């Protein structure tokens, strides 16, 4: 049992050492201006994969963003492949230090984000509804600006630090 604990600890340290840091993207282009990209209308397509990488859901999102001073209000209308429709409205504020903070109804606490070069690292806790149940999970989003019209998004969904799902999303302006 003691040996198993040491192996687990070594694995956790190894995986933490392998994680990407936002500063790795400092000099990448094109620069990701979050407010500029999501101002106006955009459209996205995505999928959810479970822990075994099996695709479990597909969806489309229509987005409308409005910017007023240092705040982006981003309305997202989701349509899932099973017909479910949901809506989320983000209110994202650019802080004086250049970081971002966001709130939405199903977000627990405050989302926090940092942009460097063409990348945005966005993290938050989320109230995930599955049927009649609800689970608190952590979202670790990485968005990458590809060009003037396209952004790629990969999200790791974690519970107790273990990845339980992955979301892949493609945005088009």
8 Å CB contact between 125 and 131: no
Rounded distance between C-alpha atoms, residue 46 and residue 104, angstroms: 20
pTM: 0.85
pLDDT in tens, 62-93: 999 999 999 999 999 999 999 999 999 999 99
Strands (E), the chain: 40-50, 55-68, 71-80, 85-94, 100-103, 107-116, 119-130, 133-145, 150-159, 162-172
Give me the residue spans of the domains in the chain. 29-172
What is the second-level CATH architecture of the domain 29-172? Answer: Beta Barrel (2.40)
Rounded distance between C-alpha atoms, residue 79 and residue 96, angstroms: 35
Rounded distance between C-alpha atoms, residue 123 and residue 100, angstroms: 10
Binning pLDDT at 50, 70 and 90, where does residue 16 land?
very low
């Amino acid at each position: 049992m003691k040996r198993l604990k040491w192996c687990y600890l070594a694995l956790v340290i190894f995986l933490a050492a392998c994680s990407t840091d936002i500063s790795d993207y400092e000099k990448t282009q094109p620069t990701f201006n979050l407010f500029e990209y999501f101002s106006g209308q955009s459209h996205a397509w995505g999928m959810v994969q479970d822990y075994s990488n099996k695709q479990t859901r597909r969806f489309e999102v229509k987005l409308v963003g409005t910017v007023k001073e240092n705040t982006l209000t981003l309305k997202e209308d989701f349509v899932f492949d099973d017909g479910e429709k949901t809506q989320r409205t983000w209110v994202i504020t650019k802080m004086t230090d250049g970081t971002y903070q966001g709130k939405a109804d199903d977000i627990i606490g405050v989302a926090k984000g940092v942009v460097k070069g063409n990348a945005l690292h966005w993290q938050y806790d989320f109230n995930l509804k599955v049927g009649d149940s609800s689970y608190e999970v952590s979202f670790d989003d990485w968005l990458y600006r590809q060009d003037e019209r396209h952004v790629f998004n990969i999200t790791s969904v974690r519970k107790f630090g273990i990845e339980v799902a992955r979301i892949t999303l493609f945005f088009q302006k």
